[in-house]
Structures are given as structure tokens and as C-alpha cells.
Chains A and B, each alone.
Chain A
């Protein structure tokens, strides 16, 4: 049972990665189309701009929700990286509880806002904004589940791993 769950988890993660990669590839290709049409064919397009922006917005929030691992997160770890595993478990419980509480309380208001945005549509592709912005709700719910899970692990006694700096990539 546990084994099947882990396998399902790995499979899902792979698909989430496919989506994230597809979003970035879409952005890149739309950009190239835009440049070719604008500079080579002298025929500026509008929709490519919108596809790029959409892929960026979804790419960031989808990625933050599903494919960024604990080791990839940008965090302040001068203290976090130096304390014992047990202390890190306590830290993880405190931050998890705060995040779950705050994201949880605001979820109904956020959902209302996203639903309300259906009155507007994007300029070129006429996509309703409630669709465009629904990724935030996905992000918030996924984050809630992720942090509940991290708290569960901390309660069971598994400390979050210390960070692997060489995997963090940013500037």
C-alpha cells in the first residue's frame, strides 16, 4: 500500500514536471514566433505576447506548487541549516502551522476574487480571467497540502533534510 502510494507520487511528480517543462517550452516558442514575425516578416503579432505571459504566470505558480523541491527553495538558512534535527522539526511545525493557518483563512476570499474575475477577458485570446487566475487557487491548495504533509512528517519524527546548497540555483 505504502509502496503503491510512493510509486503513484513519483508518477504524478513526473507528470507535473512534464507540464512545467511544456509551459516553459511554450513560452520560448511563442517568443521565437513573435520575434520572427516582428523582425523578419514585419508583421507584429499580439497573441504571442499573451501566450508568453500566460505561460510565465502558470509556470511560476505551477512550478512553485508542484516541482520545486525543499532543496530548491530560496530560504534564509544561516540558522535553519545550523540547528539540530529536533530543533528543525520544531521550526518546521511552527512555520507550517503559520502558513497553513494564514493560507487557509484567506482561501475563501481568494476563491471569491478569482471567480469574480470571470467578468474580464484577456485582450487577444479572450480567455476569461477566472481561468487565467485559477492557478493561484491551485497553488494555494497545493501549498496547504504540502505543508500539512511536512508537519505530519515532523510530528512523526522525520526532520526536514538539511539543505544541499549546491542544488540551489538563483542569481
Chain B
């Protein structure tokens, strides 16, 4: 590649501005405008692409709606009831609260589409429960909370899957379904690790909940437990689109909190709306930047060029998938997830397609991978959040997260090389891939 070409200068400028701390969305918009200027094109094209892209990407509306649903869940007492239910379910095994943490994350994953929302919602409560009376070390409580939150966006609904659908241009319903088994697999892998750790480090069991309290606890949690059923049921039988499902989820969470649990005030409603608006805008800016930059990438024929270069190496799909996994795991340590999805992944998609890799399978592998990046240092967003919540030193948390990361990478290898784990459920639901 010519190092002085407008495109390479643009790449340098975006990289340098981003490294110096400019918000990535702004860096990409500015870089795209600079490209247009250097290439002698109309500088308004960046704005045009970004505006039209936002205006026509209806599927993206799921992002604010899923964020809103999660905010509502967290304000109401739905999360607490869910936690009590999980405690009744798995609390009495060795390392009980660790299992509770994981099972709770799996169920919450079926409600919320965001790992950050999962941690923000129940993270503090469960970390407090685990560290009370010195049962678990704060760093282990923090580590397992961060690791299990990663399951959130793998099991649908999922904001990263929505972003992937945007860059790979295909139905997101099947993508959602494809994430279910891998998400459960990840939960299972983590429970195995927790069981091993519990034995080795002598973690306690919880007081078993008497059987006569079970029905009450289940009834209390039922409205929350119904939410994944409604969401997935609707998408699975094709009644609702994922975007509509997101709106229904938010409405459902609100009505339940308001009417059934009476646990949400007007002020809290406003705060939830505002918090979702704020998160929407910060992801939205990144999406806007990606839309503008996407135009540059298209003009330069980058995906075709990359495909050309790669086809020179006669890659097999397996080698390609391994390479993508390695690249994404490394990038996941350095970059934030939605940036990888919106900027890096589009470069791989055409090659995956050309190699005959199913795009639903590819999407789940990619999202799984990027989610692991949320708990790998130095840039693991979830690690920072749980460190703040638990007040445990980051180094100790990273050490305690390590076995979980290893287990997740094993799970990643499984879903990479056994595509049926991803594709079985979409196929029985009518996916022709």
C-alpha cells in the first residue's frame, strides 16, 4: 500500500487521534472528512453517509430500547427477586454464591443485551453478598461477577449482535437464536471453574432454603423469569422482529415494576430514560463514525483487497477462523468491543463469506470473542467496573479472573470448530444456512 495515499494518511490520522484520547467516533468522522478533502471529493459526503445510515438503519433502534429495558430492570426490584430465586436453586452447593452469580447472569442475559448493564444491575448486591463475613475474597467475588456478566450479550437479546447485523447485513433473529447454546455452554464452563475453585479454596455453602419457601420465591421471581420466554418466544416463532421485542421488553419491565412490584417512581423513570439516552448517544456517536468511515472503506475497495491478499495464501476456513480468533482476542485486550465490531469485523466478513463460513456462526464466534475481551487486561471494561464496586486491587481481580478466561477460551474453541453448537437452534427454527 502506498504510504502517502489519502487512505493510509487517513488511517494514520484516525489511529493517532484515537491514541491521543479523542473519542473514537469523532476520530472516525474527522478522518473520513479528511479523506474526502484529500481525495478531492465533496466533504459533505461524510455527513451524508452518516445521516442516511442512521436514518435507514431501523434495526439499530433495538440498541436504545434494550438499554432502556435493562435500566428499568435494575431500578425496580426485579433483579433482587431473581437473585433470591437463584439462591434457592443453587445456593446449597459448595461455592454456592458463585453458582448463584453465574445462574443469575445466565437468566439476566435472556433479558438484557448488555454486559455492562448486567454488572451495573446486580453486581454490587452479589459482590456484597459474597464478601459479607469474609466468605469469599473480594477479588474472587469481583472476578466471577465480571466473568459471568460476559454471558449477557451472547445469550439474546444482545446489543453486540445488533451491531454485527448492521455490518454483516443479514437477519438478526437467527443470530440471536444462534447465541443461546454458546451462552449456556459458557455458563457451564464457568460453573465448572467455580466448583473447582470452591473445592480448592474451601468456599462455603449457603444455608439451604426450606422447601416450603420455594413456591413463594418462585412466584415472586416469575414475572422476571417470564421475560426471556416472551422475548425469545416472540422472535423464535417470528411474531415480532428483534427491534419490536426490545420495545416489548422495556414496556413489560416497566409495567411489572410499576403495577406488580410498585417499586418505581416517576423520578426513577426519568433517570432511567435519561441514562439510556446518554448511553445511546455515546454508542450512537461511534456508530455514526463507523458509518462515515465505512464509505471510505467502500470507495477504497478494502474488503475486496483484503480478500485478494488472503486468497493468495489459500486459507482454509479453519485457519481463517483461528486467525480471526487470535486477532480479535489480542485486539480485545486493547480496544473497546463496539469499536472492534464496527471497524475491524466488517473487514473480515466478506472473506468469511467467500470461504463458505456461515455468517450466523461467524457472528456468534465474533461476539463471543469480543465479550471475552471485556475481561482481559489491560483494557477490560468490566474489570474496571468490578474493581470499583468491590474495592479489590485490580491485579488480584485479574489473577482470579484468569481461570475463567481460560475456560471461556476453551468454550470459544468448541463453538468455533463445532458450528452445529451455534447453528442447530436456528436451523430447527427455519434457518436455511
Contacts and interface: CB of A to CB of B under 8 A. Distances in A.
Nearest to B53: A57
Interface in B344-400: 370-371, 374, 378-379, 381, 384-385, 388-389
Interface in B1-53: 13, 17-27, 30, 33-34, 36-37, 42-44, 46-48, 50-51
Contacts of B374: 171
A168 B20 CA distance: 18
Interface in A33-65: 34-35, 39, 49, 52-53, 56-57, 59-64
A75 B22 contact: yes
Nearest to B113: A171
A95 interface: yes
A39 B54 CA distance: 26
B336 A76 contact: yes
Nearest to B337: A171
**Shortest beta-carbon contacts, A-B, top 3:** A63-B281, A60-B284, A80-B21
Contact of B282 (A39, A49, A73): A73
Contacts, number: 229
Interface in A115-171: 132-133, 136, 140, 143, 160, 165-166, 168-171
Contacts of B384: 165-166
A20 B281 CA distance: 9
Contact of B46 (A31, A60, A106, A143): A106
A95 B23 CA distance: 10
B211 interface: no
Contacts of B103: none
Contacts of A106: 33, 36-37, 43-44, 46-47
Contacts of B281: 20, 59-60, 62-64, 67-68, 72
Interface residues of A, number: 63
Given A24-B68, A68-B282, A170 B336 contact: yes
A54 to B, nearest CB: 8
Contact of B284 (A64, A77, A79): A64
26 contacts: A17-B274, A20-B274, A24-B68, A25-B273, A28-B251, A35-B244, A60-B54, A60-B281, A63-B284, A64-B284, A64-B285, A68-B281, A74-B286, A77-B379, A78-B378, A78-B379, A88-B21, A94-B20, A95-B21, A99-B30, A106-B43, A166-B388, A169-B120, A170-B114, A171-B160, A171-B374
B277 A92 contact: no
Contacts of A11: none
A99 B26 contact: yes
Interface in B326-354: 334-339
A74 B13 contact: no
Contacts of A8: none
A52 B55 CA distance: 10
B54 A91 contact: no
B218 interface: no
Contact of B43 (A39, A75, A105): A105
B54 A166 contact: no
B55 to A, nearest CB: 6
Contacts of B286: 74
B86 interface: no
Contacts of A73: 23, 282, 285
A21 B267 CA distance: 12
B411 interface: no
Contacts of A114: 47
Contacts of B278: 20, 63, 67-68, 72, 169
